[in-house]
Structure 1
C-alpha cells in the first residue's frame, strides 16, 4: 500500500509565522542596532559601562526564554504566549520612545533616567522570553512527523528571521542613527510599530491558518489545563500580567547589579548549569551512550561561547569602530552611511549565502566527504578568527585614522560564513543527541551558553581602547585597535584548533565515524 503523497507547497500558516517573526526580528535587531549609540551619545554613558550593560541585557534576553517556554508548555500554549510576549515588547519600545523624547531633561536626574531606561530594557527582556521560544516550535507543528517539507519550512522561516534582521537596523538606523541624539526616539518608535505589526499579524490570522496537517489548531492551551484552577490558567489576567512584570522587575534588578559589577550574571549561569547537570547525570536510567552524547552537547556548548562572544561585538565594539574608525562617506551619492547599517550586513549575507552552504554540505554528503558536526563548528570558529584578522590588518597602520568600509564588510561576510557553519549545525546537534526526556533542559544549556557569550561580549567590548589609553585582559596589554582585534583572532583561533583536535573523539561519542 502506497503512503499518501506529500502535499505540494506549504501551508499558509507558515507564511503567517514568517511575517510574525520577521516583524519581531525587525523590532529586536532594529532596537539593538542603535542601543549602544543611544547609551553613549544620548545618555552619555562611558563606553565600558555601556558595553557591560549591553552584555547584561543581551545575556538576559537569552535566559528568559527558559521561563517562557516552560509556561507555554504547561499553561498558556504557544499562541497566547507569543501574543502577550509581543505586547510587552511593543510596550517596551513605546516606553523607550517616550523616555528618549525627554532624555535631555532626564539627564538632570541621572538616577531617575537610569531607572526608566532599565524599565524599558526589563520589559523587553520579559516579553522576549515569552515570544522567542514559542514561535519556532509552532513551525514544526504545522506538519506531520513524516512530512518531508519540514526542513524546507524551517529554511523559509529562517529567511524571515534574516529579512527582519536586515530591515530593522536599516530602517531604525535611517531614522534614529543620524548623528543627532534627539532622533533616537524615532528608532524606538519604528521598532515598536514593527512589533505591533507582528502581534496584529498573529492575532488576526492564527485561528484560520495555524492548523496541523489534519486540520487541528496548533499552539493552543494544553489539554491538561482544561478545568484546572491555576493562578496562571488565563493568559490575559491580572495574575499573568503581574507574573510577567515580576520577571521584568527581576531583570531590572539584575541589570543594576551587573552594570555596577556587584553581581555578575555569569555566576547565575554557572549555578543554573550545575543544577541542570545534577538533574541529568543523577538519572540512573541514563545509558552510557546517552551520557556520552550529553557530554558532546556540553563540550560544543562551551566552544560556542568563544564564537558568540566575539561575533556579538557587532552590537558593541564593532559599532564603535563603524562610527569612529570607518570612512562611511559615499562621494557619488553625497551620503554618509549610518554606522548602525553595518548590523544589517550579517542578515543580508545569511540570505545570500545560506543556500550555498546547504548545497556545499549536500554535495559533500553525496560523496561521503561531509565533515561531522563538531568539525563544521570548528570551521565556523576558524572563519570568525579570519574575519577579525582581516579587520586587524586593516587597522595595523597607526598613521591611518579611518579605514575603507570594505574592510568591515569583508569581516562581516566571513563572520556570516562562520555562523552558517556553527549556529544551525549546533542547534541540529542538540536536537539530535539530547535524550528525549532531557531535550528541553539541554536546549536550555544551549541558551545558557548563548547568554554567557553575550555577557562575555559586553566585558570584552569594554576593553575597546580609547585613543592613547591602555586596557588589559588576563595579562594581555591592549594599546591599539590592532591589539584589540588580535585578541579575538587568538581567542577564536585557539578555540578552533582545540575543537579540530577533539572532533574524532567527539565523533566516536556521537557514534559517527567521520
Structure 2
C-alpha cells in the first residue's frame, strides 16, 4: 500500500542545483552525515565507558575485555552490509533499506543510553550492527543509481558525499565525546541516537526527490547500464555460477567465522566459551578453519575464470591482504590509542598553550559548522517548498548543534583550575613473608593510600598532604571543601558533584569503601583546561578535510602512482604514525598504568595515519570497480568488506594486549609492533609493484 507521499510526482533530480550538484545529493549528504555522527560518536566513547569505574557510570572492565568487545562490534558492522546490500538489491530497494536501517540504529542508540543495564548495552550494540547492514551499502547505491547516466559528475558527487562522512564523524566525536566524558556516558550515547533519528526523518520526508532511484527493483531494472557495459568488455568470458561445493564452503566460512567473532569477547569477558570442549579450546582451530574455507572457495572460483579476469582478481586478493593489515593498525584509534590518550598523555593545557588550544578548538569547531550551515541554507532555498517537513527537521537538528557547540565553548571558557590538598597514608610495601620490598636502587618501596571518608587511621600511620588539580566550570574559593575520587586507582582524581556523589554511594555495597576523599582548595589557577581524551579522534576527520583536495589533485596528475605504490606508501605512513608514539613512549616505565607524554606525539600519529588513509582507503573500492566485470563487483565488494572486518577484529584482539606487552616489555615495544609490520608490508607492496601492474593488465 502506497502513501500519498509516494504518489506525488517528483521533480527531475537534476533540475535543482546546489554548488553545481542536484539538491538531492545534499539530502543524502546530510543523511549520511548524521549517521556517521552517531556511529563515530558512539565509537569514540565505547571503550572509555567500558573501562571507566562503575561508580562513575562505567563498567570498570579490564582493557582487554573492552577491546575484545570493541573489535567484535567494529568487525560485524562491516559484515552485515553484505547481507543488507543483497536484500535491498533483490527485494526491498535502497530507499526502504536506508529507512529501516536508520530506525533500527536509532533504537540501538536509545538502548545504549540505558547503559546502567548490561542487557540494554548488548541489545543496543546488536541493533547498531543490524541497522548498519541495511544503511551503509544502500545510501551509496542510491548515488550510484542517480548518477548512472552522468558518469562525468560521479567523482565529484562522491567527493561531496565523502565530505559529509567526515563532517559527521568530526561533529559526533567532538560532541558525543565531550558529553560522555564531561557530563555522563548516557548523554553521549543518547545524543548519537537523537541525530540518527534526525537523519532518518530528513531522508524519509525528502525521499521523493530521488524519483524512482532506489525503489524496489523490478526484473527489467535489475541490470544497470554499468553491468551491460562490463558485459560488452568481457563478452568472451564465461559465466562462473556458484557450485554446490562453493556454497557449502561459503556456509562453513560464514558460520564458523561468526561463531568465532562472537565467541571471542564472550569467552574473554564471561569466561564461558562455546568452543571449549573439556580441556580443549577450539577457538584458534575454528578461526583457521573458517579462513581456510574462505580462501579455498576463492581459489576454486578464481581458477575457473579466463586468464585476464583471473589475474585481476589475484591482484585484488593481494590488495585485500594489505587492507587487513592496514585496518588492524589503523583501528587502534578507537581502542589502544584512545586509552593512550586517556591514561598516558598530558592533556592539561596551561598558560599560553591554554589560549592557543581554546582559539584553535573554537576555530576548528565553528568554521566547519558555519560552512555546513551555509550549504544547509542553499539547500533550503531549493527544496523547502516541496519538502518542508524534511527541511524543518534538518533545521532543528542544526539549531541543536549550534546550541551544544556554544554551550561547550562557554563551559570551557568558564572552567577554572583548583589546586586542592588531600591526605594520604604512606605505608611500607611488604612481600608475602612480611619483609619490606626494595626497588632497584635499594630503597624501600612505599605505598600511597588516599584517606577516604571511611578510612580508619591507626596509631602508626604517617599522614602526608598531597596536591591534586581539578579543572571544572565551578565557583570555589580558597579554603572551600570539595569531594574528589580516584577514578582508576592510578592517582587520576576528579571532582564529584552532588549527583555523581549520590550515584557512587548508591553503587557502593554495605561494608565497602566509597572511595570518596575530602579535599580543601588551597590555590586557584587561571588559564588551564583539560582536553578530553576523545578530542584527538577528531584530528583524523580534520586532516582528511585539509588534505583530501591535495591528494585528489595528485591522483589526477601525471605523477599519479600505481595501485601498489599507493598501498605501499599508505602502509609506510601508517607505520610512521606509530613510530611517533613509540618514540614518545620511551620515557614510560615498564608496566606503568599512567604517564604524561606530550600531546604532540598523538597529533603526529593521527597526521601520518590520515595521510596513509588518503593513499589507500578512497582508491580501494575504485580499483575493484575497474578490475572486475560488473557482474562480479558485488562478490568482490563482499570480499573487501570481509577483509576490513577481519582487520577490525584483529585490531581489538591485538590492541587488547596493551597491558600484557607493556608489563612484560614496554609501551614503546607495543607501538613498535604496529610500526614495523605495516612498514614492512608497505615495502613489500612497492617491491611487488611490477608483478601487480602485470596482473592488473593496464588498469590504473
- TM-score, length-scaled by structure 1: 0.83
Partner of 2:210: 210
Partner of 1:214: none
C-alpha spacing 1:203/1:268, structure 2 compared with 1 (3 Å): farther
User: Within the alignment, does 1:330 sit opposite 2:330 as a pair?
Assistant: no
2:126 counterpart (122, 128, 132): 122
1:386 counterpart (556, 560, 576): 576
User: Within the alignment, does 1:372 sit opposite 2:562 as a pair?
Assistant: yes
Partner of 2:587: 397
Q: 1:491 Cα deviation (Å)? A: 0.8
Q: Distance in 2 between matches of 1:166 and 1:156?
A: 15
Q: Distance in 1 between matches of 2:113 and 2:259?
A: 18
Q: Distance in 2 between matches of 1:188 and 1:71?
A: 29
User: Within the alignment, does 1:498 sit opposite 2:684 as a pair?
Assistant: yes
C-alpha spacing 1:252/1:445, structure 2 compared with 1 (3 Å): closer
Q: Distance in 2 between matches of 1:26 and 1:309?
A: 23
Deviation track 1:309-366 (CA, whole Å, cap 9, x = no partner) reads 0000001000100001111112225221111111111111111110011112223x2x
Computing the radius of gyration from Cα coordinates, the structure with the larger value is 2
Partner of 1:68: 84
Partner of 2:171: 167
Q: Distance in 2 between matches of 1:272 and 1:78?
A: 31
Q: Distance in 1 between matches of 2:293 and 2:134?
A: 19
Q: How does 1:106-121 map to 2 (within 5 A)?
A: 106=117, 113=118, 115-121=119-125
Deviation track 1:218-250 (CA, whole Å, cap 9, x = no partner) reads 000112499xxxxxxxxxxxxxxxxxxxx9xx9
Moved more, 197-206 or 141-150: 141-150
Q: How does 1:46-195 map to 2 (within 5 A)?
A: 46-98=62-114, 100=115, 103=116, 106=117, 113=118, 115-178=119-182, 183-195=184-196
Q: Distance in 1 between matches of 2:532 and 2:287?
A: 33
Partner of 2:298: 277
Partner of 1:340: 534
Q: Distance in 2 between matches of 1:256 and 1:116?
A: 19
Q: Distance in 2 between matches of 1:24 and 1:513?
A: 34
C-alpha spacing 1:340/1:252, structure 2 compared with 1 (3 Å): farther
Partner of 1:240: none
Secondary structure at the aligned position of 1:335 is classed as strand
Contact 2:662 2:669 in 1 (8 A): no
C-alpha spacing 1:269/1:453, structure 2 compared with 1 (3 Å): farther
**Greater percentage in strand:** 2
Contact 1:361 1:370 in 2 (8 A): yes
Contact 1:465 1:480 in 2 (8 A): no
C-alpha spacing 1:145/1:504, structure 2 compared with 1 (3 Å): farther
Structure 2: tracts of 5 or more residues without a match: 1-13, 53-57, 222-253, 276-282, 355-526
**Greater percentage in helix:** 1
- What is the Cα-based RMSD across aligned positions, in Å? 2.5
Q: Distance in 1 between matches of 2:137 and 2:699?
A: 33
Contact 2:580 2:601 in 1 (8 A): yes
Secondary structure at the aligned position of 1:402 is classed as coil
C-alpha spacing 1:326/1:120, structure 2 compared with 1 (3 Å): same
1:259 counterpart (262, 266, 270): 266
Partner of 1:231: none
C-alpha spacing 1:197/1:513, structure 2 compared with 1 (3 Å): closer
Q: Which has the higher contact order (CA 8 A, sep 6+)?
A: 1
Q: How does 1:402-417 map to 2 (within 5 A)?
A: 402-417=596-611
Contact 1:30 1:171 in 2 (8 A): yes
1:428 counterpart (608, 622, 630): 622
C-alpha spacing 1:81/1:272, structure 2 compared with 1 (3 Å): farther
Contact 1:121 1:252 in 2 (8 A): no
Q: Count residues in correspondence.
A: 452
Q: Distance in 1 between matches of 2:103 and 2:127?
A: 10
C-alpha spacing 1:173/1:438, structure 2 compared with 1 (3 Å): same
Secondary structure at the aligned position of 1:92 is classed as helix
Secondary structure at the aligned position of 2:658 is classed as coil
Deviation track 1:426-483 (CA, whole Å, cap 9, x = no partner) reads 111111112222110111111000000001001111111369722xxxxxxxx11100
Q: 1:419 Cα deviation (Å)? A: 0.2
Q: 1:121 Cα deviation (Å)? A: 0.9
Contact 2:661 2:669 in 1 (8 A): no
Q: Distance in 1 between matches of 2:671 and 2:663?
A: 16
Secondary structure at the aligned position of 2:77 is classed as helix
Q: Distance in 2 between matches of 1:287 and 1:343?
A: 45
Partner of 1:23: 34
Secondary structure at the aligned position of 2:61 is classed as coil
Q: Distance in 2 between matches of 1:272 and 1:28?
A: 32
Structure 1: tracts of 5 or more residues without a match: 1-5, 107-112, 212-216, 227-246, 471-478
- TM-score, length-scaled by structure 2: 0.62
Secondary structure at the aligned position of 1:437 is classed as helix
Q: Distance in 2 between matches of 1:513 and 1:156?
A: 25
User: Within the alignment, does 1:360 sit opposite 2:371 as a pair?
Assistant: no
Contact 2:662 2:670 in 1 (8 A): no
C-alpha spacing 1:398/1:39, structure 2 compared with 1 (3 Å): closer
Q: Distance in 2 between matches of 1:496 and 1:376?
A: 9
